[in-house]
Amino acid sequence: MAAPAPQGDPAAEVRLSKRMSELGLASRREADDWIERGWVLLDGTPAVLGTKVAGNLPASRIVIRKAAQHRQAAQVTILLHKPVGYVSAQAEHGYTPAVALIKAENRWAECEAPQPFSPAHLRHLAVAGRLDIDSTGLLVLTQDGRIARQLIGEDSAVEKEYLVRVSLTDAPARNGAEEDVQAAFTESRLALLRHGLKLDDQPLRPAQVEWINPQQLRFVLREGKKRQIRRMCELVGLRVTGLKRVRIGGLRLGALPLGQWRYLREDEGF
């Protein structure tokens, strides 16, 4: 019996669907579906569900039939300006999920994508990077597993940019007057926001954090733990009073109105 391949060995066997996902050909679920339908050829032969291949199998040995290509091309990705009060994914505690806003009357009049809205575009529409109920800004919902993996996969390094309004947790009430948080906030605590904090016993990746006015910070993150910015701020004595995501990768929220959505165009990417 052959000895098992050492951990991390590129020749170690993995499921074909996993390798297809790593190569950016499809999501794992999508790849499994295609394999079951006979739409994936491995070295010219229809692949079988559960087939294992070398972890460094080149894409050139995998052929995707046109039926799968057509299905993938029909998938949509939607950009929504999420308002406060909506949850990103499944409805919870009586709150409305953001997907409820994806309907014909809420489509931005300046959406340049040619396809008409169809209820079929709501099927298997997954959120790729959540915003909590108290946050607003750019929310991506996609049927394309490749995009979801790009944005929220474990190895994702796509930047997410946020504008974050803050106050000091230990500051006395100022009767509506604007406090100069920046002046009272030490450089050492700002440095901690940039690098050195832990959440869930795990060190956070370095972040870009800078003041844009005395009450507002700009954050650029390359990860997305649950309520990450709010929890980071709490650790250094700040309270988040407003949070808006304005960019994901190369795509900005721009002029997309609050509560409206548009399709990702073919010439756009993250």
Amino acid found at 23: L
Cα 55 to Cα 5: distance, rounded to the nearest angstrom: 11
Residue 120: strand, helix, or coil? helix
Q: Is there a contact between 81 and 258 (Cβ–Cβ < 8 Å)? A: yes
Amino acid found at 227: R
Q: Is there a contact between 108 and 253 (Cβ–Cβ < 8 Å)? A: no
Cα 237 to Cα 235: distance, rounded to the nearest angstrom: 6
Cα 199 to Cα 205: distance, rounded to the nearest angstrom: 11
Check residue 8 and give left, alpha or beta (phi > 0: left; psi -120 to 50: alpha). Answer: left
Residues whose CB is less than 8 angstroms from the CB of residue 162 and which lie 6 or more positions away in sequence, other chains included: 137, 218, 219, 220, 221, 229, 243, 244, 245, 246
List 9, 43, 132, 144, catalytic entry? 132
Decide if 9 is catalytic.
no
Residue 28 main-chain phi, psi, to 5 deg? -60, -40
- Give the torsion sign (CA, 183, 185, 186, 191): negative
Active-site amino acid positions: 132
